[in-house]
Structures are given as C-alpha cells and as structure tokens.
C-alpha cells in the first residue's frame, strides 16, 4: 500500500502520551539508528536489533512507537509512515525494558485541510444573547420572531480568542461552523495537526482534504453585479395561456405552479439562497439581467469567484428565478436571490460539507427564507469518511446536521435526492430537508432518482417533480434541456416561495407539510414516489385553512 493511500485511511484520534522511555540497554543498537521517510513514497523499512554484532532473533524483541499517529508497525520490526513529524520506534525485550531506539522523521509535501472539532465555542466579551443584533441581521431576527424561534447558544459565533489561537499556530481558516462547533484550516505543514490537537479547546482533528501540491487560488471578487440592471424584483404578468413561460412551463406544469402565479403569487418578498457549484458568467448573462440578485459569495478556498466556473448553478438559478417573459420564466420570477458556492467539482473531499454548512450559516445570518441545495454527498477520496447508508440517519453527516440546524432556525431547505437510484445521500437524509425526486415529462419517476427508507425509518424522497428533460438557461444564454434531481429541486423551491408569499404568516414546518399533504400519494406514501406529486393549487387551499 502506498504511503499516500495509507494517509487516506488515517484517523486523527487522541493518544495518551507515553511515559519517558528508559535509557537504551548497553550493548544493544538498532540498524539503522535514524530513518527519514517520505509520505509520498511506498516505503517499508525493516529494523534489526543488534547485541554487540549479532542480530537478536525477532522473537526476543517487542516493538512499539512513541507516536503511532506518525509511525506505526506494518508487521513486527517493519514500520510504515502515517503522518508527517518526528518520533522514535523502540525495541523492548520481553521483560518490557528498552533495548534500543531508532529516530524516525516523516516528511510530507502534501497540503491539507483539517477539520478541528471544538469542545465549546469559548466566551464572548462583547456579544450576548440579550443583544442578538450584534451577530444576526434584522431579517434573520424577523424570521425567528415571526415563527416564535428563540435566539440561543447555537446562534453565537465561535469566540475570536479561539480563532486567534488557531491562526497563531499557522495555516489559514477556510470554513467555520458555529452550529456544529468546527473550524477548518488549510495547511501546507502537516505537522501542525499535532499542534492543533494540543489546544485545550480542541476535541479532535480530522483530515478532510489532501493534495500532492498546492493549487492556484484565484483572486477574490466583490459583490457588484455589473451585468444586472435589477434594483428590485421584476413585475412579471402571467396570463392563463401560459405563453409567458416559454419552454420553462414544462418545469412546473405537473405540479400546477402556474396556478399560484395566476393568483398573483410569484415569490415577491421571499429571499432564496442557492447553494451550488458555481454561476459561470451569470453576472454578464443577459438572460439573468431581470433577476433580483441580492449578492454572491464563494466559500471555496481555491475558487473565490462564484462567476468563474461551472454552470450547474446557472441551470438551477434559471429554473427557480428565470424572469424573461415569453422566453423563459421560472417558478419564482419575482423572488430575490443570494448566490453561494460551496461545491468544488474538481474533486470529492469532505471539506465540501464544511463549505456547505458555512454557506448555510451565512444564508441564515443575512435572513433568507428558503435554501435550494442541488448537491449531495456520499463517497469521497477518503474511504473511511464515506457517508454510508448506516450513518445517513439525518443526525450524523456534517451537511445533514447543518440542514437540520437551518430548519430549526425557520428556513425551508429544499434538497435534491440524488441520481444513482439508491439511498439518498447527505444532506437529503436530514429530517429538516424537503427532499425531491424526479419524474420525466409523463410524470413517471426515473430509475436514476435516488430513493429509500433512511436507517431510522423515514421515507425519502419527500415528494417528486419534473427533473428529466427540464428546460434551463446555459452560461451562454441559450435554452437547453438537462436531467437530474438537481433540476427537480429548484422547481419545488420556486413554487414553495410563491406559496409562502401567499401565506407569509405560516412557518417553514407548515409550508413543508402542506406541500407533502397536497401530493397525490400523501395517504399512502411509497417508494420511489415518497408522498408523490405536489399539487400547488391544492396546497393553496390547504394553506387557507391554516392561515
């Protein structure tokens, strides 16, 4: 096994400090007496214990490592590098006395991202729950007040003192979560891991990203939208002939989203955060210059420009918010949009969940009402951190826990189910997620649409919508089709925004449950449909009885 692969299986766990070793016994030595191993190589080193000039039989030697996080034993007398740093391997006699030791240095040219799991968030000297305006926007507070949600300890940020102590050690903080009490750091020196673990407020450290060499980090961008003329949400007139939608009518036809539009509800005053992989050239795309954009921000360390690459978010945004009458009108053309990027499509590492939760918390703090998540996390380049079915209980995976927290803060979180036809990944497994499977134009659920009962007995997806052959806008401003639950989720997101505009006094829980109750299989939910196809005309009637 290569040392790099060994690294991928390494789990950074706390170890008790070994007692001071006794001085080596006279007349014994180890050959070689010092070794330098490079983690980038496949490297196994046999060690021989000599008494005078004779080799001691292996049966007479017991080996141990002073720090088996750095060096471990592949087999008796054979060591393997596990992490960068310096330590000793010690040969003992059967009586436990030290015979000899070998100094081992492990070098590593890789760069990493580490997730620091904190014991607590520290004490604040200037922030308190009695004055929440110090850390939450007025809109975030209004959402809580409207839904009778108390500001609590989860809302307080991580103390600056802790962040400063982490920064002093080295590395760059690239993500943090006040909800989950984590801080993620980018490091070029992997030996810093041990120093982070030594901080008294750090409970554990996990490796969540690794590269063989540093990668280019692009320049940051501002918040301006030079291609957008929208200073306020547009006014879109929708008649009963549906010609105003262009081909996008297909995206909402099955769920009768146009019924809400014809009643005058098109998402106005609802703030929607789209968390996705990127919005290539949306700031210059004329097909989006009538969309009310609140701002954009990337949470990906190496890709700070949300408009630079990837057009997955372009498609998702168009399905929700397209606002070009007779050409393309989306499910909520008068809503307001915050564009956030967290998905790094250059590889698959758990750090993306850290970015995602960071983006969720940001969306909460500025006061959005709905989050669309057309993302999902199962397998990674680190096999031991894969989100297996057994842990997808809505309460274990990092992103799933983030969605549950966002839901508890009054946000409606709409999540795509996934496209591998098996159990849903994270964060679709969250109890707080409204998880969306996909149908084709005939209303048939596709085989690719992920589905299943969660390990704790909940049905996923919750509901289904058009996703196979959905119409979308491309980064070049053209209209094309695409397939995936990624395109079913934004259709429901937009229709939910219109419903919430119609009944602004309802809670996120009520909006989610009404959408479920309006579905054609609500009385008898079954896989792969969940509760089935929502009927937004019926949802409007159901909401009238609650309002």
Range list of H helices, 34-149: 138-146
How many angstroms separate the Cα of 232 from the Cα of each of 333, 425, 503? 12, 36, 21
How far is residue 504's CA from residue 335's CA, in Å, rounded to a whole number? 13
Q: Could you tell me if 254 and 323 lie in one domain?
A: yes
How far is residue 491's CA from residue 316's CA, in Å, rounded to a whole number? 9
Task: Name the 3-class secondary structure at 441.
Answer: coil
Q: Which of 434, 486, 18, 7 is nearest to 211 (CA)?
A: 7
Q: Any bridge partners for residue 532, and if so which?
A: none
117 falls within a domain: yes
Q: Could you tell me if 348 and 292 lie in one domain?
A: yes
Q: Could you tell me if 486 and 511 lie in one domain?
A: yes
Instruction: With cut-offs at 50, 70 and 90, classify the pLDDT of residue 288.
Output: very high
Q: Which residues of 290-303 are buried (b: 16+ CB within 10 A; e: fewer)?
A: bbbbbebbbbbbbb
Using the predicted structure, report yes or no on whether residue 183 has a pLDDT greater than 80.
yes
Number of domains in the chain: 3
223 falls within a domain: no
Half-sphere exposure of 373 (CA within 13 A, CB side): 36
Q: What is the total residue count of the chain?
A: 547
pLDDT of residue 4: 38
Instruction: With cut-offs at 50, 70 and 90, classify the pLDDT of residue 282.
Output: very high
How far is residue 140's CA from residue 147's CA, in Å, rounded to a whole number? 11
Domain ranges, residue 358: 247-546
Summarised one tens digit per residue, pLDDT across range 360-373 is: 999 999 999 999 99
Q: Could you tell me if 202 and 318 lie in one domain?
A: no
* CATH classification of the domain holding 86: 2.60.40.1080
Neighbours of 374 (CB within 10 A): 28
Residue 381: both structure tokens together: 């380049």
pLDDT of residue 42: 46
* Strands 44-46 and 78-81, sheet pairing: antiparallel
Q: Give the angle 416-420-422 at the CA atoms, nearest 5°.
A: 95
185 falls within a domain: yes
Residue where a domain stops, chosen among 152, 187, 211: 211
Q: Could you tell me if 43 and 115 lie in one domain?
A: no
222 falls within a domain: no
Q: Could you tell me if 126 and 79 lie in one domain?
A: no
How far is residue 177's CA from residue 46's CA, in Å, rounded to a whole number? 44
Summarised one tens digit per residue, pLDDT across range 466-488 is: 999 999 999 999 999 999 999 99
pLDDT of residue 6: 37
Instruction: With cut-offs at 50, 70 and 90, classify the pLDDT of residue 216.
Output: low
Task: Name the 3-class secondary structure at 142.
Answer: helix
Half-sphere exposure of 509 (CA within 13 A, CB side): 10
Summarised one tens digit per residue, pLDDT across range 299-314 is: 999 999 999 889 999 9
How many angstroms separate the Cα of 243 from the Cα of each of 136, 240, 264? 42, 8, 16
Q: Could you tell me if 188 and 65 lie in one domain?
A: no
Q: Could you tell me if 194 and 305 lie in one domain?
A: no
470 falls within a domain: yes
Summarised one tens digit per residue, pLDDT across range 401-434 is: 999 999 999 999 999 999 999 999 999 999 999 9
* Stretch among 7-11, 349-353, 390-394, 440-444 having the lowest mean pLDDT: 7-11
Question: Measured in Å, how far apart are the chain's first and last C-alpha atoms?
Answer: 63
Residue 451 is classified by DSSP as: -
* CATH classification of the domain holding 138: 3.30.70.80
Residue 222: both structure tokens together: 């501002």
- CA-based radius of gyration for the chain: 27
* Strands 323-324 and 328-329, sheet pairing: antiparallel
Helix axis angle, 536-546 to 485-502, nearest 10°? 40
């Amino acid at each position: 096994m290569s040392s790099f692969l060994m690294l991928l299986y390494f789990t950074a766990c706390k170890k008790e400090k070994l007692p001071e070793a006794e001085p080596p016994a006279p007349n014994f030595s180890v050959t070689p007496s010092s070794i330098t191993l490079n983690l980038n190589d496949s490297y196994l080193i046999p060690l021989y214990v000599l008494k005078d000039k004779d080799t001691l039989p292996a049966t007479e030697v017991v080996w141990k490592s002073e720090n088996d996080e750095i060096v471990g034993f592949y087999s008796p007398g054979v060591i393997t590098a596990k992490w960068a740093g310096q330590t000793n391997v010690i040969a003992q006699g059967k009586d436990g006395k030290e015979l000899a030791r070998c100094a081992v240095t492990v070098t590593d040219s890789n760069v990493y991202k580490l997730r620091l799991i904190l014991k607590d968030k520290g004490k604040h000297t200037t922030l308190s729950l009695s004055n929440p305006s110090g850390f939450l926007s007025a809109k975030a507070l209004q959402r809580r007040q409207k839904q009778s949600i108390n500001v609590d300890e989860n809302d307080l940020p991580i103390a600056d003192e802790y962040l400063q102590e982490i920064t002093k050690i080295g590395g760059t903080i690239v993500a943090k979560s006040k909800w989950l009490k984590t801080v993620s750091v980018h490091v070029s020196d992997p030996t810093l891991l041990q120093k982070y673990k030594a901080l008294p407020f750090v409970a554990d450290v996990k490796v969540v990203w690794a590269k063989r060499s540093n990668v280019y980090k692009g320049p940051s961008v501002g918040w301006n939208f030079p291609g957008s003329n929208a200073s306020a949400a547009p006014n879109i007139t929708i008649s009963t002939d549906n010609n105003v939608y262009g081909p996008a009518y297909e995206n909402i036809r099955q769920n009768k989203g146009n019924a809400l539009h014809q009643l005058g509800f098109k998402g106005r005053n609802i703030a929607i955060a789209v968390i996705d992989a990127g919005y290539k050239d949306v700031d210059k795309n004329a097909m989006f210059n009538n969309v009310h954009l609140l701002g954009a921000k990337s949470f990906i360390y190496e890709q700070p420009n949300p408009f630079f690459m990837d057009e997955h978010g372009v498609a998702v945004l168009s399905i929700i918010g397209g606002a070009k009458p007779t050409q393309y009108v989306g499910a909520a053309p008068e809503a307001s949009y915050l564009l956030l990027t967290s998905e790094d499509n250059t590889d698959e590492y758990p750090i993306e969940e850290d970015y995602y939760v960071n983006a969720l918390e940001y969306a909460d703090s500025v006061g959005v009402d709905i989050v669309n998540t057309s993302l999902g996390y199962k397998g990674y380049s680190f096999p031991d951190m894969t989100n297996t079915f057994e842990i997808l209980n809505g309460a274990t995976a990092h992103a799933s826990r983030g969605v549950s927290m966002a839901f508890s803060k009054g946000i409606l979180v709409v999540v795509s189910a996934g496209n591998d036809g098996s159990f849903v990944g994270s964060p679709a497994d969250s109890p707080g997620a409204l998880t969306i499977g996909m149908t084709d134009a005939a209303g048939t659920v596709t085989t690719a649409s992920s589905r299943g009962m969660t390990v704790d007995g909940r049905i996923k997806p919750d509901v289904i919508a058009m996703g196979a052959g959905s119409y979308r806008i491309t980064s070049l401003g053209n209209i094309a089709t695409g397939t995936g639950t990624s395109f079913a989720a934004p259709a429901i997101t937009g229709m939910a925004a219109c419903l919430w505009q119609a009944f602004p006094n309802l809670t996120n829980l009520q909006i989610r449950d009404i959408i479920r109750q309006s579905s054609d299989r609500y009385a008898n939910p079954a896989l792969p449909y969940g509760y089935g196809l929502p009927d937004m005309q019926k949802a409007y009637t159901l909401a009238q009885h609650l309002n």
